[in-house]
Structure 1
Amino acid sequence: MLMRTSYLMLAAAAVSMLAHVADFAPVGEPINNVSSLEQRWVDLGTDVKVSDPVPVPAVHLVARGKKKSSSKKKKTNNKAKKSSKKKKSSSKKKKASKKKKGSSGGTFKGDGTYYNAGMGSCGKTNTDHDMIAALNAPQMGYAANPNNNPNCGKYAKVKGPKGTVRVKIVDTCPPCKKGSLDLSPAAFIKIADLAAGRVPISWSWD
């Protein structure tokens, strides 16, 4: 800005000098007195000071390749987040499956009786010597095809006054109340005497 002002002052001084020279020289005649022209230049005092140029600050350029690397890092971070989400969802599924398995767990209490085995509702034929039992109707549940009942083939650990026995569910006991089991004679004598006929029991899925 200072340099531009100096140039303007110099141009104005030159114009003024030419105007003064024109006073001494008639129109149409050449100016031969060079020394007088120089004296005019000195008289006008055209001392122009040009300041040093203003330093321009250096500009730091950032390489574009770094931005690409940051985008790659973001992508890898996104993949890591997705994998962690999958792990969380799989762990949630495992917990849900565990809850489903445990929903039918626990200890049940009811009456223990015995019956003469034969063809059961699960579609299998058994004898009185087999360690089997018929599950009460409320817990056995209803199935369109009783042979495909999910409780068929499950094992129960039964505890009575005399001991404990492990039996397989192969039939349904319609008159039995919830928590009760109707056992084969061979299984019943493990927990009580046959003469008792009916005894209190507690049992759980095994």
Structure 2
Amino acid sequence: MGMELRVLMVMAMVIALTSVGSAASGTATYYTAPYVPSSCYGYEDEGTMIAAASDAVWNNGAACGTYYTVTCTGPTNQGVTQPCYNTSVTIKIVDYCPSGCQGTLDLSQEAFSTIADLNAGKIYIDYY
């Protein structure tokens, strides 16, 4: 194998491992409309690809406006068949999910249904 090809392969592996290594893991649930008011934007409509952040992400409101790419990685309930779709969704943090929140991210119903079957209710996710 030529040196250039080896260098390209090593670079591709490093990039792939870096992107996987930088993802955080957690859980996601979903909530339904109306999506206003929100903690970050009041009555301003921010669309439907949005989420509320739990204490793990909220950071005293610094998470407002942050975009995350979210991927379903599996079911949280035993006995549930694979709820994940082979896709990701990009969401914007617009709200706070108070203490006792059931997920790391509480996605809008539209965002959740992009990555998983709504019947799952709660899923494991990676987000970055």
Smaller-chain TM-score range? Answer: 0.5 to 0.7
Structure 1: 4+ residue segments shifted above 6 A: none
User: Which ranges in structure 2 are unaligned for 5 or more consecutive residues?
Assistant: 1-20, 73-83
Q: Does 1:125 align with 2:50?
A: no
Q: Does 1:138 align with 2:62?
A: no
Match of 1:197 in 2: 121
CA offset at residue 126 of structure 1? 6.5
CA offset at residue 201 of structure 1? 0.6
Percent identity between the two aligned chains:
40
Q: Note the alpha carbon deviations across 1:97-123, whole angstroms, 9 max, x for none.
A: xxxxxxxx9311111110122211113
Q: Does 1:115 align with 2:31?
A: yes
- Quickly say closer, same or farther: Cα 1:111–1:126, change in 2 above 3 A: farther
Which amino acid counterpart does residue 133 of structure 1 have in structure 2? A
* TM-score, with length taken from structure 1: 0.41
Whichever structure has more helix as a proportion of its residues is 1
| Structure whose CA Rg is larger | 1
Q: Note the alpha carbon deviations across 1:77-136, whole angstroms, 9 max, x for none.
A: xxxxxxxxxxxxxxxxxxxxxxxxxxxx93111111101222111133367x61000111
SS of the residue 1:114 aligns to: strand
CA contact (8 A) 2:28 2:122 kept: yes
CA offset at residue 176 of structure 1? 3.1
Q: Does 1:176 align with 2:92?
A: no
Number of equivalenced pairs: 93
Which amino acid counterpart does residue 65 of structure 2 have in structure 1? G
User: Which ranges in structure 1 are unaligned for 5 or more consecutive residues?
Assistant: 1-104, 143-148
Kindly report the root-mean-square deviation, in angstroms, between the aligned alpha carbons of the 2 structures: 2.4
Distance in 1, matches of 2:119 and 2:44, equals: 23
Alignment of 1:48-59 (within 5 A): none
Whichever structure has more strand as a proportion of its residues is 2
Match of 2:22 in 1: 106
CA contact (8 A) 2:38 2:95 kept: yes
Q: Note the alpha carbon deviations across 1:32-83, whole angstroms, 9 max, x for none.
A: xxxxxxxxxxxxxxxxxxxxxxxxxxxxxxxxxxxxxxxxxxxxxxxxxxxx
Q: Note the alpha carbon deviations across 1:144-165, whole angstroms, 9 max, x for none.
A: xxxxx33211100000121210
- Quickly say closer, same or farther: Cα 1:186–1:125, change in 2 above 3 A: farther
CA contact (8 A) 1:124 1:170 kept: no
Higher relative contact order (CA 8 A, sep 6+): 2
